[in-house]
Each structure stands twice: as C-alpha cells, then as structure tokens.
Amino acid sequence: MTPRSREHAIDMTGGLAPNQVREVQETYIEKSRPVVIIGPMAAGKSYIGTHLARFYGYEFIDSDHLIVDKYGEVSQIFTDFGEDEFRRIEAEIIREVLTSPSRRNTIFSLGGGAPMTPETAELLREETVIYIKVDAETVAPRIIHGRARPLLQPNPIEKWSEIFEARRERFEELASYTLDARGGRSISDMAAEIQNFILRSRKGQV
Ligand SMILES: Nc1ncnc2c1ncn2[C@@H]1O[C@H](COP(=O)(O)OP(=O)(O)OP(=O)(O)O)[C@@H](O)[C@H]1O
Ligand SMILES: O=C(O)C1=C[C@@H](O)[C@@H](O)[C@H](O)C1
Ligand SMILES: [Mg+2]
C-alpha cells in the first residue's frame, strides 16, 4: 500500500492553529482523569467498577485490591496493625493512583471508608466521583454472612446502618454523580448510566 500524497492527506487538526491543538489535547488529558467510585460497604463499588471497565474499555483498579496485593488481607491488617494503620496505607495508595499520569483511562473503586480520611477527601474534591447509593435492605443479603469486613462485626446489618449514617454526608458532598443502586438493578443498566455521565462530563455537558 502506498502512502497518501500530501494533497490527499486528511487534516486531523480540523483547521486549528498549533496552540489551539495543544489546548484541545490538554483538555482531553484533563478530562481523561480516573473516574472514582465511592459508597458504603457492599454497595457494589468493586462489582460495578469491574463491569463498567470491561464493558467500556477502561482499566480497573480497586484500593482494597492494591492493599491486599501489597500488604495482605484487609482483615489481617486490621487485626495486626489496627484501623489507623489501615487508613494510613489506604490514603497513601489512593494518593499514588490519583497523582499518577499513567492512570488516566481508569475506573478506580475505593474501600467504603476511604473518603473519610481528610487527605483523601481533599484529593477527591478535584476528581470525577461516582457515588453508589444503596440502603440496608439492598445490602443485607450481601453482608449477613462472611467476616471479610472487620468493621461490620458482630452485627453486620446494625453496624452497616450506623457506619453508613456517619458517612452519608461525606459521600453526598463528594459525588459528581449519584447512581441509585437500590433494589436489584441489572449491571448493564447501571454501567450504561455511569458511562453516559462520564461521556457527558468529558464533553463538558454536566
Ligand atoms: N447490583 C448487584 N446485584 C447483585 N449482586 C451485587 C450487586 N452489587 C454488588 N453485588 C454483590 O455484592 C457483593 C458486594 O459487592 P462489592 O464487593 O462490589 O461491594 P463494595 O462496594 O466494593 O464493598 P467494599 O466497600 O466492602 O469494598 C459482591 O459479591 C457482589 O458481587
Ligand atoms: O467501609 C470500610 O471502612 C471498609 C470497607 C472495605 O472496602 C475495606 O476497605 C475495609 O474493610 C474497610
Ligand atoms: Mg470493594
């Protein structure tokens, strides 16, 4: 195949001057920052984030997964070092991701309590943040068994509601977009709703 001659070359700049092209590129980079998912325990942050990334071609990362890869199981960290040390590690890992230029086209799910750390909340104020809103009824079957979430012991539903009430205002205040995930919504429906918001926000329509 022979290359196109100069006369037939397509003008990819749309007739923009070099400084205008740079401006468009900078805007694109800015708008391709990670999209962060927050919400209470068992809301489906990791579940929705994984599928959203798979359906629409994003990279997916999760703060809990990064912590487990680096330091071992979350419940073991709580047992061995306590919650304060877990929060310190968590905030450090989140800062690394949010300040890394290689994490642009990424869906980043956070652990439920991460936005309560002031340093993390400050970082999130600059980001596109999707809040997964649920209620106790929706999460009850997901938390009633299993001991993977140390903060929910020994009465998972009661503890979940108590912790959620203490965090609700922070979630609401940080949200660029709230996804209502109460009841049994299908994953494709929820992922499409978030993707729609991301596209609109990158075009500056929200
Ligand atoms: N909309 C949904 N429909 C059916 N199952 C769901 C839905 N959302 C989440 N789940 C299931 O509920 C469980 C908890 O979801 P997930 O781990 O994604 O929660 P999370 O918000 O990431 O919680 P954490 O804060 O503890 O990390 C998982 O087993 C997941 O598959
Ligand atoms: O809501 C929380 O405080 C937590 C949620 C999980 O994702 C883990 O990050 C950990 O169990 C703490
Ligand atoms: Mg999770």
Q: What is the Rg, in whole angstroms, of the alpha carbon atoms belonging to the chain?
A: 20
pLDDT digits (tens, 9 = 90+) for 49-62: 999 999 999 999 99
Return the pLDDT at 24.
66
Distances (CA, A) of 68 to 71, 74, 78, 174: 5, 6, 12, 26
170 Cα: distance to centroid of ligand 2 (angstroms): 15
Residue 1 predicted with pLDDT over 50: no
Residue 32 predicted with pLDDT over 50: yes
pLDDT digits (tens, 9 = 90+) for 109-160: 999 999 999 999 999 999 999 999 999 999 999 999 876 788 998 999 999 9
Residue 97 predicted with pLDDT over 70: yes
- The closest alpha carbon to 44, from 103, 87, 107, 92, belongs to 107
The SS3 of residue 138 is helix
Average model confidence (pLDDT) across the chain: 89
The domain 33-200 belongs to what CATH superfamily?
P-loop containing nucleotide triphosphate hydrolases (3.40.50.300)
C-alpha torsion sign, points 78, 59, 39, 90: positive
Annotated binding site for substrate, which residues? 64, 87, 112, 167
pLDDT digits (tens, 9 = 90+) for 167-202: 999 999 999 999 999 997 999 999 999 999 999 988
47 Cα: distance to centroid of ligand 3 (angstroms): 7
4 Cα: distance to centroid of ligand 1 (angstroms): 52
Among 62, 64, 71, say which to mutate for ligand 2: greatest number of ligand atoms within 8 Å of CB: 64
Amino acid at 31: K
Return the pLDDT at 2.
44
Q: How confident is the model at residue 204 (pLDDT cuts 50, 70, 90)?
A: confident
Residue reference for tokens 């942050």: 45
Asked if residue 41 has its Cβ within 6 Å of ligand 2, the reply is yes
- The closest alpha carbon to 157, from 136, 175, 171, 174, belongs to 136
| pTM for the full predicted model | 0.87
Distances (CA, A) of 153 to 17, 75, 117, 150: 61, 11, 21, 6
Annotated binding site, which residues? 42-47, 64, 87, 112, 149, 167, 185
Query: What is the C-alpha to C-alpha distance for residues 54 and 60, in angstroms, rounded to an integer?
Result: 8
pLDDT digits (tens, 9 = 90+) for 85-94: 999 999 999 9
The question of ipTM being above 0.90 is answered as yes
